[in-house]
Amino acid sequence: MAIFNLKKREIECKVVYYGPGRGGKTTNLEYIFKTFRKQITGEMVSINTEGDRTLFFDFLPMGLGKIKGCEIKVQLYTVPGQVQYSSTRKLVLRGVDGIVFVADSLEVRREKNMLSLKDLQANLKEYGLNIFKVPLVLQYNKRDLGEQGIPLMSIEQMDQDLNRQLKVPSFPGSALKGDGVGVALKECTKLTLKSLQRELKWAQ
Amino acid sequence: MGEKENIKRLLQEAELYKGQGLLNEARLKYDEVSDLVRNNPKIKNKQKLLAGLAKKINLLEVDTQKVEKGPSSPELSSRAQDLIQQLFSFSQEESEEEAALEGALALAKFGQFERALAEFDNLLSNEAHRVVAAKNILRCHIALSSEEKAADIYEKWAKGDTFSADQLEKLRVFMEQVLENKGVDRKLTVIGTKAKAVVEEKKEEEFIDISAIGIYLDSGPSKGKVVEFDVNFQSGNLLSLIISKRDGKMIEHLEVNNELEDLQFYSPIAIFNGSGLVAAKSEIQSGPKQGDYCLDIKITST
């Protein structure tokens, strides 16, 4: 849940990057950290384990400037994607305001994408949130690997698998090259702020 | 595509998956290539190729083991611990004590037991959170050393004046259940009356500690039977069970959101009936429990 500090006219919201393990969530945050230096308000914190897998979470604080007299701060988090870190994922998801779901475009990861989305839905439900109502965007990552002849799912297939019912904004991307990173974050923060505006009535 | 090109393509895929850290996927591709080489009589130097592939598979297995055996909860820098405490104290605006408890619980959840212990120790001075903090101190000692050590801590408390008799009774019931579950034969000092503590425990905590659950199965190989499973973790009304792959068939038909009637809950105080629903079901993909199932059951009524 976003923190609205009336006295300071400041809103702090939480955006979580969710998705299957090794799908590129941390790479998204690394790219944001490298590229949007002006908006970054602190260091990126990553807690990794063997093989650079996210063990707990990554954290990156950003400032988006003022909207209608309110200072907007966004905290970006990633969750550990590996199945066994279920309780950590759930803890990191607590108080979420917006989600970027990073799906892996590799054909061999098709099932993992679907399982991770199902896991997201179940964890949101635990916090009384509905996946159909929470601000959510999808990023179909690793599109660049198609150039190397690696079998990727088509965008249509990924939409069919993951977005048939959700019908949320989706973006092809390559977090490594930065494609689709900024646009996915921008759309997610836009949806999040709209949702907070409705909820907190802060900009009316 | 010719056989040679196919093998080349599969090898390229395997290398890329390995580079991406997708070790299982890489392994499957190397296995596929090995099968193709083995079954193709036209390939020269077959043994040399197969030996090369076996070497690659062995290296992958070493990497996989490193990942699986990596530290599950490494000791973090104090800066990272401060951050965890700060980021996961959700009630900062409402209550400082509540936020402190949440921060300490997060530290424990992330395996930072030494630091969590220090935070829980501070919370012992807070009447409202004393018992919860104490239970978590015992949990941290179990994680750091042993059940025996936690029992020693209880005995130390039993001799001191930090806790009331009722609070100590709650801690004793909790600790004895832990000892029993772990098969540790040790009796703890009883302070105060058992019955009173039990009644208050029920009043104070909406959900008492549940050690095992009996599920009536209406489908599968154990249809018509009540099967008992140990509860591995409990968070309020959510119970997490790890079910061995041997018993996988028993729960094969259970799906998320399935309602479960006629559940039996086994607690240190009593056995009682209730109902629940399947909150999550997943197969553990790696680690020592690979192939086992994790089943979360949410208690809906008792």
Residues 12-71, chain B: which have Cβ within 8 Å of A?
Answer: 12-13, 16-17, 20-22, 25, 28, 63, 66-67, 69-71
- Report chain B's mean pLDDT, rounded to a whole number: 84
Contact state of A49 with B25 under an 8 Å Cβ cutoff: no
At residue B204 the predicted structure's pLDDT band, cuts being 50, 70 and 90, is very low
Q: Encode pLDDT of B228-259 as tens digits.
A: 888 877 777 888 888 888 888 888 888 877 88
Which uninterrupted H or E stretch holds A13?
strand A10-18
Six-digit token pair at B96? 């400082």
B33 and B102 share one domain = no
Over residues B124-137, mean pLDDT: 93
Which uninterrupted H or E stretch holds A117?
helix A110-126
CATH assignment of the domain containing B31 = 1.20.58
Contact state of B25 with A106 under an 8 Å Cβ cutoff: yes
B53 and B27 share one domain = yes
Nearest to A22 among B22, B76, B83 (CB): B22
> Chain B: nearest CA to A136, how far in angstroms?
21
- Give the residue extent of every domain in chain A: 3-200
The single-letter DSSP state of residue A179 is B
Question: The whole model's pTM is what?
Answer: 0.74
Q: Encode pLDDT of A31-63 as tens digits.
A: 999 999 999 999 898 877 666 788 889 999 999
The single-letter DSSP state of residue B227 is E
State the best of B87, B110, B239 to mutate against chain A, taking most chain A CBs within 10 Å.
B87
Fold of the domain built from segment(s) A3-200: Rossmann fold (3.40.50)
Contact state of B13 with A145 under an 8 Å Cβ cutoff: no
pLDDT at B197 over 50: no
**Chosen domain end from B150, B173, B204:** B204
B58 and B120 share one domain = no
Number of folded domains in chain B?
Answer: 3
Nearest to A148 among B16, B80, B279 (CB): B16
Lowest mean pLDDT among A158-162, A199-203, B111-115, B222-226: A199-203
B165 and B247 share one domain = no
CATH assignment of the domain containing B255 = 2.40.10.220
pLDDT at B195 over 50: no
B93 and B44 share one domain = no
B91 and B181 share one domain = yes
Domain residues for the domain of B270 are 212-301
pLDDT at B1 over 90: no
pLDDT at B299 over 80: yes
Over residues B151-155, mean pLDDT: 95
At residue B206 the predicted structure's pLDDT band, cuts being 50, 70 and 90, is low
Query: Do the beta carbons of residue A25 and residue A102 sit within 8 Å?
Result: yes
Contact state of B256 with A122 under an 8 Å Cβ cutoff: yes
B108 and B189 share one domain = yes
CATH assignment of the domain containing B186 = 1.25.40
Query: Do the beta carbons of residue B277 and residue B297 sit within 8 Å?
Result: yes
Residues 156-185, chain B: which have Cβ within 8 Å of A?
Answer: none
pLDDT at A194 over 70: yes
Most confidently modeled of A47-56, A127-136, B238-247, B292-301?
A: A127-136
The predicted complex's ipTM stands at 0.86
